[in-house]
Structure 1
Amino acid sequence: MNLTVRQLRYVCEVARLGSVLAASKSLYISQSSILAAITLAEAEMGARIFDRRPARGVSITPAGQRFVAAARVMLAAETEFNRSIGDLSGRVPKVLRIGCFEPFGALFMPEMLRGYLDSVGDVEIDLVEADQVQLQERLVAGQIDLAILYDIGPIGIDSVTRICKVPAHAVLNADDPLAVRDGIWLAELAERPLVLLDLPHTATYLLTLFDVLAKRPEVRFRTRSYETVRSAVASGFGMAILNMRPIGRATADGDEIVRKPIFDELPPPTLIVADMYGSAKPLFVRVFIEIFHRFFDTVGPSGFSVTTPEREPLLLVARKG
């Protein structure tokens, strides 16, 4: 095969984004370089990988789907090889490529990553903030080494480490009559308009919490931003359901909103670290996971969740081995 690993990555990025222009911006390279890689890949395949649609990007063909699936396996193997070589010499990569669920970037990632740097030395952090679907795609494509996300929606990665359970809680405007209560029942929240964190799988998870009532609240405000959810609740658009609370140095809520536990027994999602290494995790992955565990052990359930006191001891997940 005459294609380089870099050119395979170009083709996979076009498949992920559905656009040569978008892939060019994502990879910081020229469109001509990407088009050359596609042309070479199609020559190697003897079939078209993409159908060009003027002004609408590209669509992947059935042959292209097979090619991209095989290319992603090769890219993941190349990443594992490079990391394993570093592990053999007891080194950690000079760049940690890590992805996290979008809200986590502001809620706790910088503070937690500071602990990683304190342990391994001065490395560069390349943090990708994305939704649950995008994180798994980037991990499989070898674009990131680790992904921090919840176990909600389909999880197509077999190698995951469970850190802690993070139950849902209510976020209310401080002037709401329910704000003075110790906790809230889901049926009470269903009567109020909802400010929805509208991310793939996340929105579905939040709305289906109400299915036990056979009644969902009216969605009055949708946003992909955790910060905008807080602002919308503070501005009186309605209540919100969230899981993680701001940790440590993250921006505090302010006086306009309050967080209250939900009394109903709802299945809590689990915070996980996903990787593509399986049981053969290189040194830097093992170090990261241990530091991640320690971070949440130190913060404790009352620091990362809003729940009732009797549920707090059940939230931290014990380490394996």
Structure 2
Amino acid sequence: MNLTLRQLRYIVSVAETGSIAGAARQCRIAQSSILAALDLADNEMGARLFDRRPSRGVSPTPAGERFLSSARRLLNAEAEFERTMDRHNHVTPPILRIGCFEPFGALFMPELLQRFTEGANIAVELYEGEQPQLLSWLEASIVDAIVTYDIGAGLPDDAVPLARVPAHVLMHVNDPMANQGAVHLADLVNSPFVLLDLPQTSAYLLTLFDIAGKRPRIAFKTRSYDAVRAAVACGFGFSILNMRPVGRGSPDSVMLVRRPLVDNLPVPTIMIADRYGTAKPAFLRRLSLLAKSFFEEIGPNAF
């Protein structure tokens, strides 16, 4: 077969994202490279791997499902081989590829990664995505490690906890409750809600209101953390979030205030994870230690 491992990753990405454009964004390449890999695979298999539907994306054919199953096994074997070899490599790679839960990209990742790269000639590629994407990137060795919440399943058993991040309320500075030191969920349920609408995150946030016995009316929902902040600043309503901005990159508007919640709520934990297990290379051990130190220095009052 004339397909390269890189081209196999492109094809698997098409299946994961459901579109050629989505695969191009995920793999950070031109759509023409994705199309070339698909055409080559079709010719090699003697059958179309995907049904391509204008404006509705793509879906695997039966031949495509068989191809994808074999491709994933091969890519997993390659990833395991690389992990085994990296155990004996004490050199930090010239490019650090890190995945993170999408909002973290603006909230604290540059501050954290600047500490890791300081004084070294290391470039950073930051992949921001939802948790299912992060796990697939990690499994395929597209990224070296991921930083995300412990919400949902799939994180490796040896993922390292970095910080517990309790939920808090984000509200407009002129909200009547903005002058309170802390807020009860029950006092919020009759106000319009701005929802961070990411997979797993939205379900977690809405479930918190079950403690108050009522869910608020969703007045604005978005997949963007920054859009949540903008919507609250513009008066659409309040929001419930976990992580706050850290450092210099993404401060809140003067139109926003954050207040703790009095309720006894489940507290998610920020984790750093990789697929190396006990074969973790030295640079990832150093990154994990630095990340723990980073959050210890910030302290719980910052988030």
Q: What TM-score, normalized to structure 2?
A: 0.90
Amino acid at match of 2:53: R
Task: State which drifts further: 245-254 or 285-294.
Answer: 245-254
Match of 2:185 in 1: 186
Deviation at 1:40, TM superposition (A): 4.7
Distance 2:154 2:86 in 1: 28
Listed one character per residue, the Cα deviations across residues 132-177 of structure 1 (whole Å, up to 9, x for unaligned) are 2221222222221111111113335444211111010011111112
Equivalent runs, 1:37-48 vs 2, <5 Å: 37-41=37-41, 48=48
Trace 1:54-133 onto structure 2 (pairs within 5 A): 54-82=54-82, 84-118=84-118, 121-133=120-132
Give percent identity, aligned residues only: 50
- 1:78 & 1:140 partners in 2: Cα distance? 10
* 1:90-126 residue CA offsets vs partner (Å, 9 max, x unmatched): 201111111111111111111100111127x211100
Aligned to 1:313: none
1:145 corresponding residue in structure 2: 144
Q: Give the CA deviation at 1:256.
A: 1.5
Question: CA 1:147–1:201 in 2, change beyond 3 Å: closer, same or farther?
Answer: same
Q: Is contact 2:155-2:273 (8 Å) kept?
A: no
Q: Secondary structure at the match of 2:229?
A: helix
Does the CA-based 8 Å contact 1:72-1:142 persist in structure 2? no
Is 1:18 aligned to 2:11, yes or no? Answer: no
How far 1:190 moved relative to its partner?
1.1
- Partners in 1 of 2:30 and 2:177 — Cα distance? 53
Q: Distance in 2 between matches of 1:67 and 1:210?
A: 44
* d(CA) in 1 for partners of 2:35, 2:250: 43
Retained in 2: the 8 A contact 1:87–1:284?
Answer: no
2:269 is equivalent to residue 270 of structure 1: yes
Cα displacement (A) at 1:14? 1.4
> Taking structure 1 as reference, are residues 144 and 66 closer, same or farther at Cα in structure 2, changes over 3 Å only?
farther
Distance 1:129 1:24 in 2: 15
- Which residue identity is paired with 1:276? R
1:289: Cα distance to partner? 0.7
* Cα distance in 1 between the residues matched to 2:21 and 2:261: 45
**Aligned partners of 2:164 and 2:80: how far apart in 1?**
29
Moved segments of 4+, more than 6 Å: none
| 1:48–1:61 Cα contact (<8 Å) kept | yes
Between the aligned partners of 1:148 and 1:274, the Cα distance in structure 2 is 7
Letter in 2 for 1:236: G
Contact 1:83 1:93 in 2 (8 A): no
Q: Secondary structure at the match of 1:187?
A: helix
Q: What code does the residue aligned with 2:195 have? A: L
- The gaps in structure 1 that reach 5 residues or longer are 306-321
Separation in structure 2 between the aligned mates of residue 131 and residue 255 of structure 1, nearest angstrom: 29
Alignment match, 1:314: none
Give the equivalent residue in structure 1 for 2:284: 285
Q: 1:260 to 1:195 in 2, by over 3 A?
A: same
- Classify 1:197/1:86 alpha carbon distance in 2 versus 1 (closer, same or farther; 3 Å): same
Aligned: 1:294 with 2:296: no
Aligned length: 302
* C-alpha contact (below 8 Å) 1:151/1:269 kept by paired residues: yes
Tell me, yes or no, if the aligned pair for 2:232 and 2:238 is still in contact at 8 Å.
yes
Contact kept? 2:168, 2:241, Cα under 8 Å: yes
1:312 — aligned with what? Answer: none
Counterpart check, 1:28 vs 2:29: yes
**C-alpha distance 197-291 of structure 1, shift in aligned 2 (>3 A):** same
Describe the SS at the equivalent of 1:279. Answer: helix
Q: Which moved more, 1:285-294 or 1:61-70?
A: 61-70
The alpha carbon displacement at 1:24 in A equals: 4.2
Match of 1:311 in 2: none
Question: Residue 308 of structure 1 corresponds to which residue in structure 2?
Answer: none
Cα displacement (A) at 1:69: 4.2
AA aligned to 1:234 is A
Q: Is the 8 A contact 1:84 1:282 kept in 2?
A: no
Deviations 1:251-281 (A, max 9, x none): 3223312111111100111101121212221
Residues 1:7 and 2:44 aligned together: no
Is the Cα–Cα contact under 8 Å of residues 99 and 144 in structure 1 kept in the other structure?
yes
